[in-house]
């Protein structure tokens, strides 16, 4: 396929550091990570990979890999320290320089507007629980659309479920724990997406716009058990269904509606919200790492079931399930009517320990994972799925949210030392330019 993109993906809060430099305002992860017990080893994103200062080194790594796309996010509070109002010109200039440099190097700039780092000043106003956030986001998005003209793709949001987790399950920033909050945050976030898309279209921007939703397909441990099948369906509905139904099917997900009715949860929605949320997009970004086998029976050891069925595991305990991407593409197309071009916007694997030999990190397990993912991707493309690109997570080890720096996903270390997988990916790209795997 002409113009297939082989890229890598990163996110501002995970790589940039410089958390309080050159006018940047705090975001909710800067603050959350300062609460004792939230992040493993008390790690903080303050410095991360120092990409704010070392972005040229990152571009060099991208060139060495031979990628023709780079997916990164811009930090809302670096551009608008208070989330709205006064623009921080130095922040905007940073992203403009990076984007222009990539474009000149023939590396398509693919910008995510929101990768979980809400400006803390907006959190103080209620954050994603305040319906006004949809307009604040649209205003911010518009500033980026107008000031970064060389971007080729924009995603409004990355994995909206992370915001749900931050408001309903305490696990992520800002750290609330009410289902009702999670559901309200979801709604306001989707609305912010719709309003940003509206602004993008009215501005006549020549780039493409989409959204990134992850799919971790829940599969019943016992496909003959009605309870397992029902559990898997419900979990899928409550997870990716929460987003894909309103975005692509023009309706709220039935499992979400059922759950809210059962639990007496009411949230604020207005007429017209759904049609804004469901506005046509240019692409769908699929983040896909693995499937999840679920059982309704607490006495069932899911790992055992997988092994008995011939499944394999990586050293980190993750299942090595080759068809995760293929299955997720099928779900998007068949269950949620996604009929626009798809980019795999994230795929990769993390380890706490990696083998070092003769001073080189021999991350063979990552290579095995990638090979099997590419095979599955190839099968999907051969069968006619309209996949236009693949972005590997991630360029360097980075701040992996609650896992801090202990979970490593990079083709390079944080100090930019190359791992064996970087050579593997470079060679893979050069022999599969056309996207055939
Ligand atoms: C994710 C995030 C990344 C993670 C990656 C590895 O979308 O979950 O986009 O920020 O670091 O997925 O867990």
Task: Decide: 158 in ligand 1 pocket, CB within 6 A.
Answer: yes
Distance from residue 394's CA to the centre of ligand 1 (Å): 9
Q: Is 393 in the pocket of ligand 1 (CB under 6 A)?
A: yes
Find how far residue 61's CA is from the centre of its chain: 21
Separation of CA 363 and ligand 1 centre (Å):
19
Of all protein residues, whose CA lies closest to atom 10 belonging to ligand 1?
11
Q: Is 287 in the pocket of ligand 1 (CB under 6 A)?
A: yes
Average pLDDT over residues 248-257: 98
Residue 413: CB atoms within 10 A of its CB come to 15
| Rounded average pLDDT over 404-419 | 98
Question: Atom 5 in ligand 1: which residue has the minimum CA distance?
Answer: 393
Q: Is residue 67 very low, low, confident or very high in pLDDT (cuts 50, 70, 90)?
A: very high
| pLDDT, tens digit (0-9, with 9 covering 90-100), for 112-156 | 999 999 999 999 999 999 999 999 999 999 999 999 999 999 999
DSSP 41: G
Q: What CA–CA distance (Å, rounded) separates 215 from 287?
A: 6
288, 345, 393, 406, best to mutate for ligand 1 pocket (most atoms within 8 Å of CB)? 393
Say how many Å lie between the CA of residue 226 and the centre of ligand 1: 32
Mean pLDDT throughout 381-393? Answer: 98
Rounded-to-integer distance, Cα 187 and Cα 160, Å: 10
In the residue annotation, 354 being an active-site residue is answered as: no
Ligand 1 in contact with 117 (CB < 6 A)?
Answer: no
CA nearest neighbour of 77 among 157, 165, 136: 136
User: Quick count: other Cβ atoms within 10 Å of Cβ 118?
Assistant: 26
346 is catalytic: yes
What's the pLDDT score for residue 434?
80
State the average pLDDT for the chain. 97
Cα separation, 221 vs 288, in Å, equals 20
Beta strands in 53-207 (DSSP E): 69-73, 108-114, 153-158
Q: Looking up tokens 């107008």, which residue turns up?
A: 146
d(C-alpha 108, C-alpha 99), whole Å: 9
Best mutation site among 9, 43, 112, 346 for ligand 1, i.e. most ligand atoms within 8 A of its Cβ?
346
How far, in Å, from the CA of 25 to the mean position of ligand 1? 23
Nearest protein Cα to ligand 1, atom 8: 159
Which pLDDT band, with edges at 50, 70 and 90, does 84 fall under? very high
11 lines ligand 1 (CB under 6 A): yes
Question: Is the Cβ atom of 245 under 6 angstroms away from ligand 1?
Answer: no
What pLDDT does 435 receive? Answer: 79
Q: What percent of the chain is predicted at pLDDT more than 90?
A: 98
43 contacts: CB under 8 Å, gap ≥ 6: 33, 399, 404, 405, 406
pLDDT of residue 61 exceeding 80, the answer is yes
The answer to whether the predicted template modeling score (pTM) of the entire model surpasses 0.95 is: yes
* Residue 433 binned pLDDT confidence (cut-offs 50, 70, 90): confident
Which entry of 16, 123, 346, 354 is annotated as an active-site residue? 346
Q: Give 399 Cα–ligand 1 centroid separation in angstroms.
A: 10
401 has pLDDT over 90:
yes
- When pLDDT is cut at 50, 70 and 90, the band that residue 437 belongs to is confident
DSSP string, 241-291: HHHHIIIIISS--HHHHHHHHHTT------TTHHHHHT---SEEEEE----
**Residue 43 beta carbon below 6 angstroms from any ligand 1 atom:** no
Average pLDDT over residues 90-105: 98
pLDDT tens column, 421-430: 999 999 999 9
CA–centroid distance, residue 159 to ligand 1 (Å): 8
- The verdict on the CB of residue 29 being under 6 Å from ligand 1 is no
| Probe target for ligand 1 pocket from 40, 115, 159, with the most ligand atoms within 8 Å of CB | 159
Distance CA 5, CA 108 (A): 8
Q: Is 121 in the pocket of ligand 1 (CB under 6 A)?
A: no
Alpha carbon 419 to chain centroid distance?
23
């Amino acid at each position: 396929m002409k113009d297939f993109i082989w890229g890598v993906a990163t996110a501002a809060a995970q790589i940039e550091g410089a958390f309080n430099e050159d006018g940047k305002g705090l975001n909710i992860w800067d603050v959350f990570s300062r609460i004792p017990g939230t992040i493993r080893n008390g790690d903080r994103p303050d410095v991360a990979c120092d990409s704010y200062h070392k972005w040229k080194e990152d571009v060099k790594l991208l060139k060495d890999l031979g990628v023709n796309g780079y997916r990164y996010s811009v930090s809302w509070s670096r551009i608008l320290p208070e989330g709205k109002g006064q623009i921080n010109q130095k922040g905007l200039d940073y992203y403009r320089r990076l984007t222009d440099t990539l474009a000149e190097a023939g590396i398509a700039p693919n910008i995510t507007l929101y990768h979980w780092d809400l400006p803390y000043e907006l959190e103080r106003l209620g954050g994603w629980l305040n319906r006004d956030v949809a307009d604040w986001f649209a205003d911010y998005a518009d500033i980026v659309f107008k000031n970064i003209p060389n971007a080729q793709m924009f995603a409004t949001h990355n994995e909206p479920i992370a915001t749900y987790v931050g408001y309903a399950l305490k696990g992520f920033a800002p750290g609330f724990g009410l289902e009702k909050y999670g559901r309200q945050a979801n709604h306001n976030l989707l609305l912010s997406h719709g309003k940003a898309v509206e602004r993008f279209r009215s501005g006549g921007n020549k780039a493409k716009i989409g959204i990134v939703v992850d799919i971790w397909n829940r599969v019943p441990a016992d496909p003959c058990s009605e309870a397992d099948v029902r559990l898997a369906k419900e979990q899928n509905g409550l997870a990716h269904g929460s987003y894909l139904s309103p975005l692509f099917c023009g309706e709220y997900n039935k499992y979400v509606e059922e759950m809210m009715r059962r639990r007496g949860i009411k949230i604020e929605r207005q007429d017209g919200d759904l049609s804004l949320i469901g506005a046509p997009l240019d692409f769908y970004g699929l983040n896909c790492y693995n499937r999840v086998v679920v059982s309704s029976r607490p006495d069932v050891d899911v790992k055992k079931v997988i092994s008995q069925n011939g499944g394999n595991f990586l050293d980190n305990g993750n299942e090595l399930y080759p068809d995760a991407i293929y299955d997720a593409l099928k779900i998007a197309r068949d269950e949620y009517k996604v009929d626009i071009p798809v980019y795999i916007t994230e795929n990769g694997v993390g380890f706490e320990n990696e083998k070092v030999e003769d001073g080189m990190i021999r991350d063979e397990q990552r290579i095995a994972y990638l090979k099997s993912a590419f095979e599955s991707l190839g099968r999907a493309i051969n069968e006619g799925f309209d996949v236009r690109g693949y972005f590997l997570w991630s360029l360097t080890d980075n701040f992996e949210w609650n896992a801090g720096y202990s979970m490593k996903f990079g083709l390079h270390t944080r100090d930019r030392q190359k791992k064996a997988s970087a050579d593997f990916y470079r060679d893979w790209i050069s022999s599969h330019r056309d996207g055939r795997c």
